[in-house]
Homo-oligomer: A and B are copies of this chain.
Amino acid sequence: MPDTPPKAVVLLSGGLDSTTVLAMAKDAGYDCYALSFDYGQRHNFELEAAATIASRAAVVAHKIIRLDLGTIGGSALTDPTIAVPQADPAGWAATPADGIPVTYVPARNTIFLSLALGWSEVLGAQDIFIGVNAVDYSGYPDCRPEFIAAFERMANLATKAGLEGRSLTIHTPLIAMSKEQIVKKGTELGVDYSCTVSCYAADAAGRACGRCDACRLRAAGFEQAGVSDPTRYLS
């Protein structure tokens, strides 16, 4: 056992998944450094949620990097000309014919992990946590285990630390978990989900629409886990 806890950079969006990951990283004994992005997302309230969550989790530091992905475009989450899909009668997975949701932000996880990599190198951290999960990777290419493995390999060639043999690990503790399991795990670790925001179209006060893919998936998770849903809905 090292004298001081190892450091980990934890990607924290302020949503249900990343908040659970932060609790898991803490539970595993890491000193946590939370990293959020102000990337032109529509649901900007999530950054306030991230700050609250980071503070309650007593992270060593919480950094918010401003990065205007909206200038790149290509996603309903950052481009106001692309509509956020509402669930259709057939179910929550309202994705286009190619199976990749319009809420996919091009190269988002690659970009976020790259910035986490830069910070981890400055901190001397060898661990990065990211909340990608089984449900996401059904549609988002950058949520799949083979992507994460390729990123980790690249990262170990990219940095001074990697060259010097202090290799980096990308942890994806949620990757094989359902929303139900995630909610159960977080509840067990004492996570207060009332301050997390998952909705793609939350209002300025962080109230969820209850109709988008993210809302339906989240609500189903609480229901299946048998945990009372603390989400604040618009109606």
Contact = CB atoms under 8 A, between A and B. Distances in A.
A111 B109 contact: no
* Interface range on chain A (Cβ under 8 Å from partner): 35 or more
A115 B72 contact: yes
Interface in A133-149: 141-142, 144, 146-147
A150 B141 contact: no
B154 A150 contact: yes
Q: Report how many copies the assembly holds.
A: 2
Contacts of A117: 106-107, 110-111
A158 to B, nearest CB: 5
Nearest to A164: B98
A166 interface: no
A100 interface: yes
Nearest to A146: B157
Given A71-B63, A119-B72, A122-B74, A110 B141 contact: no
- Among all A-B residue pairs, the 9 with the closest Cβ atoms: A107-B118, A74-B122, A150-B154, A106-B121, A106-B118, A114-B114, A147-B157, A111-B114, A107-B117
Interface of A: 63, 65-69, 71-74, 98, 100, 104-111, 113-115, 117-119, 121-122, 141-142, 144, 146-147, 150-151, 153-155, 157-160, 162-164
